[in-house]
Amino acid sequence: MTIAPQDFFPQIAGWVAQLDDTFPGAWVKPYFAQWEVLHLLSLALLGGASLLLNLRLIGAGLTDEPPSEVRRGVLPWLNLGVVGILATGLLIGTSNPERLYTSEAFTAKMLGLAAAIILTYGVSLPAAKADGRLGRGAALAAALGMAVFGLSIGVFAVAKLVNPGLWHVIIAGALLVLFVTRGLTRIIYLAGLVALMVTQAALHHVIYKPDDYAHLDPANKIMILVYLALILAAAGVQIVSSGRGPQGAGPATKALAYASILVWVTTAAAGRWIAFA
Ligand code: HEM
């Protein structure tokens, strides 16, 4: 049993199979690369907007302005990026439909997209509008968004030949926390990351042979958990120690702002790994 769209919606196989022979799939097909460039430019736009918005909630980046001002500035660009990525995604999807229909990475990506929209529009934007406060609606959206995000990560983690893509999410989380932490926390955290990278290089090139997958696969799974523990610990210290400040968000809003960035990274990583399955 796989977790691709074809396993959940077998009845639409015929419709999917003809999508690239009819408009707009047939029309987009010869220009797939050009449309994919627009897909990635939209990603850059929405990614940048999401970063500025959520970093401000975390307490980094544009800290000279209150979160509500940052929200006002980034909102049109965020909306343009989201509309652009959905429109171009649907167009390139109709021109290569069977690849998506049979792809477990695409399932992880669509769950990630749903979670990203819920966390961005239901949590980060309203929290920024209220200068960091989480209302009841945002708290409900947070619970739903985090549950769907968890499902996306779960599918990503069990999909064969796709799950190495989760390293992108770990690396993005590691860099995000490195950017946000300050002082001694940052130094200790960086030392921890370097020690883990040296350990991993030794595992791959000294302790085991690079093609000794029987040992390297479980070792890498343990390594991913150790990285995760270190990143979460440093983020936890940052969330608690940076305080609320005059125009700052509380710990829950900050934790959700981290998730709101990483959910887009997860969606993008799953999008990239459609090609590798
Ligand atoms: C309606 C929603 C979407 C659809 C139908 C869609 C469809 C696609 C398709 C067909 C591909 C090409 C896959 C391949 O042949 O290898 C792709 C690639 C990709 N998508 Fe999407 N996409 C959607 C939304 C998104 C979103 C929201 C993101 C990011 C947050 C995203 C990020 C990417 C990335 C990074 C790639 C890889 C490009 C590359 O190969 O370098 N997509 N998408």
Number of domains in the chain: 1
Four-point Cα dihedral 136, 267, 230, 49, nearest 10: -70
Global pTM reads: 0.96
Q: Measured from the CA of 95, which atom of ligand 1 is nearest?
A: 10
- Does 161 fall in a domain? yes
* The pLDDT of residue 248: 67
In the predicted model, what is the mean pLDDT of the chain?
96
- Note whether residue 229 is domain-resident: no
CB-hemisphere CA count at 13 Å for 172? 19
Q: Is residue 98 included in any domain, yes or no? A: yes
58 burial (CB, 10 Å; 0-12 / 13-18 / 19+) is: buried
| Domain with 153 in it | 5-182+242-276
Nearest residue by C-alpha to atom 34 in ligand 1: 271
* Other CB atoms within 10 Å distance of the CB of residue 51: 18
206 domain residue, yes or no:
no
Is residue 249 over pLDDT 90?
no
| N-to-C CA span, the chain | 15
- What is the mean predicted confidence (pLDDT) over 236-264? 87
Q: Is residue 164 part of a domain?
A: yes
Ligand 1 pocket residue status of 42, Cβ below 6 Å? no
State how far the Cα of 201 lies from the Cα of 223, in Å rounded to an integer. 11
Q: Which of 146, 87, 78 is nearest to 112 (CA)?
A: 146
- How open is the CA angle 219-225-229, to the nearest 5 degrees? 140
Where does the pLDDT of residue 277 fall: very low under 50, low under 70, confident under 90, or very high at 90 and above?
confident
Report pLDDT digits (tens) over 114-158: 999 999 999 999 999 999 999 999 999 999 999 999 999 999 999
Residue 97 within a domain: yes
Cβ of residue 113 lying under 6 Å from some atom of ligand 1: yes
Residue 194: inside a domain: no
The CA 30 to ligand 1 mean position distance, Å, reads 17
Q: What is the pLDDT of residue 245?
A: 59
The pair of three-digit structure tokens given for residue 201, joined into one six-digit string: 């290089």
Pocket test for ligand 1, best of 19, 35, 36, 260 (most atoms within 8 A of CB): 36
| 54 in contact with ligand 1, CB cutoff 6 A | no
Contact 114, 148 (CB under 8 A): yes
CA 109 to ligand 1 centroid distance, Å: 8
Q: Would 225 be classed as within a structural domain?
A: no
Q: What pLDDT shows up at residue 247?
A: 57
Which residue's CA is minimally distant from atom 40 of ligand 1?
272
Closest by CA position to 173, among listed 89, 253, 258: 258
- What distances in angstroms separate CA 138 from CA 126, 142, 239, one per listed residue? 7, 6, 19
> Tell me, what amino acid is at 141?
A
- Higher-pLDDT residue of 181, 247: 181
